[in-house]
Amino acid sequence: MWFHPLSIRIPIWEQIQIFISWEIDVYFETISLFYGLNLQKKDYVTFTEKDYEKVLRTISIEKANKLGIIVLIPVFVVFTGIHSFFWGNHLLDYFRTDFSPIKILRDGSLFFIACLIGIVLHELIHGISFALFAKRGFRAIRFGIMAPFLTPYCHCTEPLKIRHYLFGALTPAVILGLGPAITGLFIGKYLVTFLGIFFIVSAIGDLMIAHLLWEEKPTDYAQDHPSEAGCFVFRKR
């Protein structure tokens, strides 16, 4: 039994969160042994350039999740409206033709699996994009999950130029979000468009961080915060 005798004073939900966090750390550390990925909680690379001002830029995960629900409505309306404009009743035909619980269960299961795979790819794309500009490549990347919010994350332990940081932050939204959403409009497959809508909304945290950095100089530097959603900005004085 993994509950410690002294943990009786700790609420059961907090104990479960602690256990999940421990299991995740062990899992990723095991992966790192096979793939050589830096997934453990190591010290970040210290920014050593002189004449730079350090500024904190973070967002609230809870606020990002709530904003994602709000943003879902206009994104859904825009892409669904465009799809209906070009393809007419094609969207409604899905529910009119051969409508059955088996069909809904099948397509719903496929969509759920695609979402799970997409979530993993989302963080992997972050890692690859950051690694392209990190001095240590993929060894500067680590992955994990924020247990309180069950939110996966990808961190780059090195400071990157802001233009490179923005590239890494926005690439998943473009590849997994805009890509499928627009592709679905061209081929007339609404499920593909809806998958894109899902990943556009899923990238709301990345978009919020990009918004914070948009007016920063692209040649200045940004470095992921070690424990919060956001980064430190290093501005040239």
Q: What is the pLDDT of residue 130?
A: 95
Q: What is the pLDDT of residue 94?
A: 63
The answer to whether the predicted template modeling score (pTM) of the entire model surpasses 0.95 is: no
- Distance, in Å, from the CA atom of 31 to the CA atom of 39, rounded to the nearest integer, reads 8
| C-alpha dist (Å) from residue 176 to 66, 98, 195 | 21, 29, 8
Extract long-range pairs of 208-216: CB within 8 Å, 24+ residues apart.
208/59, 208/64, 208/67, 209/57, 209/59, 209/169, 210/166, 210/169, 210/170, 212/57, 212/59, 213/57, 213/162, 213/165, 213/166, 213/169, 214/166, 216/162
Q: What is the pLDDT of residue 34?
A: 33
User: Are the CB atoms for 177 and 122 separated by under 8 Å?
Assistant: no
Number of helices followed by number of strands (H, E) in the chain = 8, 6
Token output for 188: 């007339």
**What is the DSSP code (8-state) at residue 23?**
H
pLDDT in tens, the chain (237 residues): 333 333 344 454 454 444 344 343 433 333 333 333 333 445 567 788 888 999 998 888 777 777 878 888 899 899 989 988 888 766 666 666 666 778 778 888 888 898 889 988 999 999 999 999 999 898 889 887 766 666 778 889 899 999 999 999 999 999 999 999 999 999 988 888 989 999 998 898 899 899 889 889 999 999 988 777 788 999 988
Neighbours of 193 (CB within 10 A): 25
